Structure 1
């Protein structure tokens, strides 16, 4: 059964559309379980009912016409209970409903299993037999396992199928297709999708209209020629080591590329209007599907060969005729996985939004997007990349919703929200030079988190009083090799000079986890619990010393440098890093530089550090909390995993209690404590942190005016009462709701409610 399961899931994953997926499922399950009937019902959101979408064994005329509500029949009972229903004689059950057009009165045994996706019942898988018997436990387990495996694939195929129909309806009735993701950066964007596909990845190549058909064909034929050459070279190099029948495999490869095989079909698709890369993807994936569904194991393996050939051709196509990204004045950049480097590919004046199929709200790309004020959605796992290039999108960064081909009513509603955001920004502009001071005179320093040089002007323009976190890894990530000491010093000096005399806190290189360098790969099964942060740089003192020396040189004459150590878990790490910093200071002083030892602090990001705050405080000048990682480790939630994104909640009682404890412990040693995680960027979170006693709040520049406005509208007593009420609560959702209600009572503006269709 396991082999059957794997085969069905594999076939479904490469099926071209929803109908193919469903028909394949019912055929394969009927054969695998040796039943007389297998059917699948899917939820229709418009009619709020479950529709018979495919069947093997019932009357085919019933497909598409049989509709059952969630309260009707045995299918409705499966939906209502969200669990399997296994009956020996279905017609005798009180919930049984006879539907004449199906012909199912002939069948007695019934097993129905819910197809659940994102906690909602997407549909129901049903198997039936004439004989009166209960399906045994292994059969039920097989169907339950299969439904769990297929849920995502069916949802994806359903969405892709809807998109495939777009543009084919002259009336334009197919509008407002909605996809769910995770809010990455608040705000609303309306624009045109530009899809960035990773190199040599057939699955991610988008459809595009061929502007010059003959040129596309020429590009394809040139790539074919190079692949044929490569195959011949490999065949000749292995000729002495292979038998004649094995050498013949290379001839098979070459024949696949003949004009009468793959090549001819690709050229035909190009002439139909698709560009070369999209046409190649269509043809290769169609052949892969056909071979994958064959029973003969030898023929099934040809699917791998075809996919390999497709990748080889695509690689040359992308090298010799790379995809030229076209940016409209309102570009929404869409990628399978956003990277910081991608943000720089679009002219800043044209980039209005970002969408990533993978990743979460606290991935590095999302954090940078927030600092740049770009509405962003992460973890949109059901969004079909290949079908949306050039489509009009609405991106709702408050709710995590993406609307493809929105209707006029929806566009009007979101344009109203955009106007409201612009009006609020104008109001906040008036307070940029005023301090973040409560109504009863308490002053709260507001600093910023930066990583790009463009962040500097934006931060100063919004009234930042210092930098609480400068992510030094960003200059490392946008290069192809380690930057030299001089290169680093020049980069760091721009930050220190621009903010002088305000303090600038530079975090030493923090790679690993979700931040990797292409020239220094770290391959680990569990990178967040692996070699990252201070662990890497202490193991490589040559990297650490060069960076510290560059920081010290950059700060010469300014005196506003602070150095911060990431991911510390032990006193030994702090002491070793301090020795290295002292060594760098001494070296530079000996070289004639006029520098002094800067303030040095540590980041509290892991539970081990929480319970050593006082020990750290005795050895450093300041403590800073990285609440993003701390939340991740306390809740055991990978912040880049959209499947558990809803479990990553900053207002979790455990997180709040840890934050209170850290501030109290640091102050026992008379050491200042700040926070540089995203919690400080939220008005509600900022008020709680102020009440906890944090000395500095550091956030992305975009949110600084909103946080300042919130602080200026309350008293310190109001914030303390909010904290007291929240700390008495034990549920994160209730806490979030309570904070929103309390902010509204205090007159603090919250984003307009997103539109739902």
Structure 2
């Protein structure tokens, strides 16, 4: 059965379009099961009817015309019950509905299985026979398995527009919502500007070369032009992007070296393929290799290689990159948008970005965040071919994209944008004021940084220090490990910018969803694998260079604090402290004048929660990483949209763990800060303050909002609210209760950074 299933899936996936895929499916299933009929009915949600889309054994002229209401017939019963129906005499069933145009009268045996994708009913697959018999369990299991495979194909076709015309309509003016992953927070409203590649590799054939010298000459000319383009883009980028992001273009240039892509392409030409075919061979080989990797960051490198290859192909084919006029408020949409888009298109015209592929830590997402462009990535089932010129809303807070929003949805989003603009002006009044509650309790407001672009906005918003500097970002935008001097210069900029305020630098935190292109980590379960402190302790040569760079950078400033990520045992702290002291003695011997910095530990795995008393004997401070701690406590990958609804910061277990941490640390007299989304959400910030957290570290964009809310309440009121929360056992109830209490305090408009409470925006979009 497995081999049969594998062959069917391969054929279906190789089909050029949906109709062909459905035809292959019914043909192969009928043959494999030895039945007389196999048919597929898809549900047209616009008219709430099933449409016969493919059949082998019934009248083919009925395809596209034979329909059943959602609740009609046995097909309707299968869909409504969302489970298989297996009958030996279908015509005798009270729900049987005979469709004369299909010619199904002679068939008695009936087995129908629903086609469901992510809880959404898409259709029903049916097999029938003349004989009166029930299909056996093995046959039923086979059809259920086939249905699960077919569901993904139909869902993708429905979303990407391949199903267009089959139901006799497109997106039209119907409001549709698609889910993705947040690349950069914010909201944008505009018109879709679809970016297509200048050329397409799949249309390039292999062709025997007639004149190798001529082919290589054409390739060299194209290569030269692409190098010039990359340099021009780099110069333009230098005006808008920080140095770390500009390094990307150096990576692009190195890819074109003879010991990289260019050399391989020349070798293929020498072997007899014309230059376009050689280019396609080499580029697609590397793209496939990257796309097959488990690590999300490495998969993102595939788009870099493909982008370069397409630029070369464009010159070989004398194509132009962008032809269509760019609207003023453009929502740039593409299958796999690369960072070069920010310099191909004027920044002032880009309102938002939507990419079918990509991740929250891809190059494009990193640069989008530094430029403050609302971005949603990983919108896999997106109707790209039908989007040009349509109205879009990019909701960068919840990772949603709304196509052709109705007037009510647009009104709500515009009201939210206007409200946020007004609130931003109001929030500026507290920039230089301390975060002090109505009853005089003081909270320290720190920021999380990673890009130089974060520095100015952090200082402008009154940040009192850096609670988390992500040192991995300078590593991620290079094609090699940065040298000690390079790291020192980057760290020095951060330390000088915030001096004399403390800057907490987290040591290299890679693994999980963060990897380096030149240091691949391939694991089946990367979030529970080799990451954080585990990597750097296994590579002391990397760790020591980074610590030395931090120490040298702090000379004459002495505002450095070092933080260790992903710690799960005292042994890891001991090993790290040994290396840190070794690096400190080395720089002292070399003439540095630095003080030994405080060293802290991040609490972000459940094991650490129950070792607080042991940890504080070895370190100077603790910092709770609320994002990772929440996902590990709840066993939910926060980057996986399939389980995104299960990632709940207000879950009782998360709140109890946070209270345990602060209680244990305070009992030992050790300072504790908390960073991540919980620190930057005014609602959870109120609860954290009530628990006893006195230092919150968040993104600069959240700082003033959190400060405003905490200045408008008393510690006593927050503690009373927390006591009420302890009696609740449901995350949604807790969140709603906190909202209600803050609404009653007149803080409703400040507690949600464009989160749509009291407005049915998403529901309206989904139901429209």
TM-score by length of 1: 0.79
- Residue 36 (structure 1) shift: 2.2
Corresponding residue of 2:716: 717
Corresponding residue of 1:529: 528
State the distance in 2 between where 1:220 and 1:44 align: 52
Residue 151 (1) aligns with residue 151 (2): yes
- Residue 501 (structure 1) shift: 1.8
Corresponding residue of 2:542: 543
Residue 499 (1) aligns with residue 498 (2): yes
Secondary structure in 1 aligned to 2:518?
coil
Corresponding residue of 1:296: none
Corresponding residue of 1:138: 138
- Residue 622 (structure 1) shift: 0.6
Work out whether residues 37 and 57 of structure 2, in 8 Å CA contact, stay in contact via their aligned partners in 1: yes
Corresponding residue of 1:239: none
Corresponding residue of 2:41: 41
* Larger mean Cα displacement after TM superposition, 388-397 or 524-533: 388-397
- Residue 186 (structure 1) shift: 4.3
Corresponding residue of 1:475: 474
Secondary structure in 1 aligned to 2:161?
helix
Residue 11 (1) aligns with residue 43 (2): no
Residue 123 (1) aligns with residue 126 (2): no
State the distance in 2 between where 1:575 and 1:137 align: 58
State the distance in 2 between where 1:642 and 1:441 align: 41
- Residue 83 (structure 1) shift: 1.0
Corresponding residue of 1:396: 395
TM-score by length of 2: 0.78
Corresponding residue of 1:383: 382
* Larger mean Cα displacement after TM superposition, 368-377 or 24-33: 368-377
State the distance in 1 between where 2:427 and 2:471 align: 30
Q: Deviations over 1:52-84 (max 9, x none)?
A: 333233334443344434432222221222111
State the distance in 2 between where 1:591 and 1:727 align: 55
Corresponding residue of 1:114: 114
State the distance in 1 between where 2:92 and 2:26 align: 25
The 1:530–1:447 alpha-carbon spacing in structure 2 relative to 1, beyond 3 Å, is same
TM alignment of 1:599-618, pairs within 5 A: 599-618=598-617
The 1:182–1:718 alpha-carbon spacing in structure 2 relative to 1, beyond 3 Å, is farther
State the distance in 2 between where 1:325 and 1:632 align: 41
- Residue 24 (structure 1) shift: 2.8
State the distance in 2 between where 1:180 and 1:388 align: 16
- Residue 499 (structure 1) shift: 1.1
State the distance in 2 between where 1:723 and 1:344 align: 49
* Larger mean Cα displacement after TM superposition, 478-487 or 638-647: 638-647
TM alignment of 1:419-438, pairs within 5 A: 419-438=418-437
State the distance in 2 between where 1:695 and 1:346 align: 44
Secondary structure in 1 aligned to 2:520?
coil
Secondary structure in 2 aligned to 1:702?
helix
* Larger mean Cα displacement after TM superposition, 31-40 or 191-200: 191-200
The 1:590–1:630 alpha-carbon spacing in structure 2 relative to 1, beyond 3 Å, is same
The 1:344–1:675 alpha-carbon spacing in structure 2 relative to 1, beyond 3 Å, is farther
Corresponding residue of 2:251: none
The 1:182–1:30 alpha-carbon spacing in structure 2 relative to 1, beyond 3 Å, is same
The 1:186–1:13 alpha-carbon spacing in structure 2 relative to 1, beyond 3 Å, is same
Query: Structure 2: 5+ residue runs without aligned partners?
Result: 204-217, 224-261, 285-303
Corresponding residue of 2:653: 654
State the distance in 2 between where 1:660 and 1:315 align: 51
State the distance in 1 between where 2:596 and 2:537 align: 19
- Residue 315 (structure 1) shift: 7.8
Residue 488 (1) aligns with residue 487 (2): yes
Corresponding residue of 1:587: 586
Residue 99 (1) aligns with residue 99 (2): yes
TM alignment of 1:562-573, pairs within 5 A: 562-573=561-572
Corresponding residue of 1:702: 701
Query: Structure 1: 5+ residue runs without aligned partners?
Result: 204-217, 236-253, 264-275, 282-310
Q: Deviations over 1:684-728 (max 9, x none)?
A: 221121112112111111122222222233222332233233333
- Residue 346 (structure 1) shift: 7.4
Corresponding residue of 2:672: 673
TM alignment of 1:213-612, pairs within 5 A: 230=267, 233-234=270-271, 317-319=310-312, 321=314, 324=321, 330=329, 332=331, 349-357=348-356, 373-383=372-382, 393-404=392-403, 411=410, 414-612=413-611
The 1:674–1:222 alpha-carbon spacing in structure 2 relative to 1, beyond 3 Å, is closer
Work out whether residues 17 and 162 of structure 2, in 8 Å CA contact, stay in contact via their aligned partners in 1: no
The 1:634–1:431 alpha-carbon spacing in structure 2 relative to 1, beyond 3 Å, is same
Secondary structure in 2 aligned to 1:50?
strand
Secondary structure in 2 aligned to 1:445?
strand
Secondary structure in 2 aligned to 1:569?
coil
The 1:12–1:717 alpha-carbon spacing in structure 2 relative to 1, beyond 3 Å, is farther
* Larger mean Cα displacement after TM superposition, 174-183 or 629-638: 174-183
Work out whether residues 158 and 164 of structure 2, in 8 Å CA contact, stay in contact via their aligned partners in 1: no
Q: Deviations over 1:371-395 (max 9, x none)?
A: 8654333442212557657865321
* Larger mean Cα displacement after TM superposition, 351-360 or 428-437: 351-360
State the distance in 2 between where 1:378 and 1:197 align: 18
State the distance in 1 between where 2:562 and 2:269 align: 57
- Residue 101 (structure 1) shift: 3.3
* Larger mean Cα displacement after TM superposition, 344-353 or 79-88: 344-353
- Residue 561 (structure 1) shift: 1.1
* Larger mean Cα displacement after TM superposition, 642-651 or 61-70: 61-70
Q: Deviations over 1:182-228 (max 9, x none)?
A: 4555432134446598999869xxxxxxxxxxxxxx999999x9999
Secondary structure in 2 aligned to 1:703?
helix
Q: Deviations over 1:117-156 (max 9, x none)?
A: 1112121111122211111111110111111122121111
Corresponding residue of 1:308: none
The 1:231–1:468 alpha-carbon spacing in structure 2 relative to 1, beyond 3 Å, is closer
Q: Deviations over 1:147-190 (max 9, x none)?
A: 11221211111122368679x99x99466454233455543213
Work out whether residues 623 and 674 of structure 2, in 8 Å CA contact, stay in contact via their aligned partners in 1: yes
The 1:397–1:374 alpha-carbon spacing in structure 2 relative to 1, beyond 3 Å, is same
Secondary structure in 1 aligned to 2:602?
strand
Cα RMSD for the two superposed structures: 4.0
State the distance in 1 between where 2:337 and 2:322 align: 15
Work out whether residues 219 and 320 of structure 1, in 8 Å CA contact, stay in contact via their aligned partners in 2: no
Q: Deviations over 1:25-68 (max 9, x none)?
A: 22222222222222222222222333333323333444334443
State the distance in 2 between where 1:528 and 1:181 align: 20
Corresponding residue of 2:742: 743
Work out whether residues 18 and 163 of structure 2, in 8 Å CA contact, stay in contact via their aligned partners in 1: no
Work out whether residues 570 and 615 of structure 2, in 8 Å CA contact, stay in contact via their aligned partners in 1: yes
State the distance in 2 between where 1:339 and 1:313 align: 10
State the distance in 1 between where 2:632 and 2:450 align: 23
Corresponding residue of 2:237: none
State the distance in 1 between where 2:194 and 2:664 align: 49
State the distance in 2 between where 1:412 and 1:17 align: 38
State the distance in 2 between where 1:92 and 1:325 align: 62
The 1:535–1:175 alpha-carbon spacing in structure 2 relative to 1, beyond 3 Å, is same
Secondary structure in 2 aligned to 1:135?
coil
State the distance in 1 between where 2:472 and 2:264 align: 38
* Larger mean Cα displacement after TM superposition, 99-108 or 564-573: 99-108
State the distance in 2 between where 1:710 and 1:63 align: 61
State the distance in 2 between where 1:314 and 1:559 align: 44
Work out whether residues 195 and 388 of structure 1, in 8 Å CA contact, stay in contact via their aligned partners in 2: no
* Larger mean Cα displacement after TM superposition, 382-391 or 706-715: 382-391
Corresponding residue of 1:190: 189
